[in-house]
Structure 1
């Protein structure tokens, strides 16, 4: 009876505490409030009105057709875009799975390749011991990647088929 209760409890806990799919993070809406003081006789009324955000139309909106966040935004990423790529990695440098990122198959593969390229070029930290540079010293991360090879591989119609 105890294993059944434990499994039901764990299922409920996992259901309530499950992580939602990650997407590209943006700055949250500020919801600034303007305070208006009105004095009528002996009463002072303080009213707060929400000021509309001037950057509301510039925020990222998810696509209605079900496309992943990178396909919908039309972002052309390279291995040098470390701030965007770091959103798809764990704290130990490993790549987040597709279930968590919410990306399509092509973009997940592309992001994983870009993260590995950035780690091998020394642009991102590499905490796990899967790949270590063979050289030691200042030339250990002396790796260069050509932008045309990235575009040729992931934008060709052969790869998308």
Structure 2
């Protein structure tokens, strides 16, 4: 009985998380408000009224064809890179860990891609690392650059013909 109840609570929690899933945006949100004063007899009322954005026509609306898409696929951000930190940090908690897929609402392919890109960005120190990160040496503080596609010069032994290899390399290989 308790197993069924726990399973129902688990499904309920996932549905609640999906309801409160954050909206992912490519740009910052405009939270501009205008202050209005009203004087009536012996009372002064101060109100903050939302100001409509001048970029409202540039917003991306959710259409029927895109209703089941994840936010990154809907915005056609499939070529996301580890240097796009403004987008990636929306998926990272304050502790430096990636948010679970149930909260972000990403498809599994894009969620795995975001995890991979966040790790690269944290290695390059473009995003803050988790608090429990263990440094494996002083070289962790040095700059890291990822080049894509990988250049052939990164694998020199595939380019250099075996007859030009050093003799000690051939002995170690055998």
TM-score (norm 2): 0.56
The residue correspondences of 1:1-161 to structure 2 (distance < 5 A) are: 18=17, 20-25=20-25, 26-28=28-30, 53-65=53-65, 66-75=68-77, 76-129=79-132, 131-136=133-138, 140-148=141-149
1:90-113: CA deviation from partner (whole Å, max 9, x where unpaired): 110000000000011111011110
Structure 2: runs of 5+ lacking an equivalent = 1-5, 36-49, 151-174
Secondary structure at 2:122's aligned position in 1? Answer: helix
TM-score (norm 1): 0.60
Structure 1 residues 124 and 141, CA gap change in structure 2 (3 angstroms): farther
Contact 1:82 1:123 in 2 (8 A): yes
Contact 1:120 1:141 in 2 (8 A): no
State the aligned residue count.
Answer: 124
> For residues 51 and 89 of structure 1, what CA distance do their matches in structure 2 show?
29
Contact 2:95 2:130 in 1 (8 A): yes
RMSD: 3.4
> For residues 118 and 63 of structure 1, what CA distance do their matches in structure 2 show?
32
Structure 1 residues 20 and 51, CA gap change in structure 2 (3 angstroms): closer
Structure 1 residues 23 and 51, CA gap change in structure 2 (3 angstroms): closer
Structure 1: runs of 5+ lacking an equivalent = 1-6, 34-49, 150-161
Moved more, 55-64 or 113-122: 55-64
> For residues 63 and 88 of structure 1, what CA distance do their matches in structure 2 show?
23
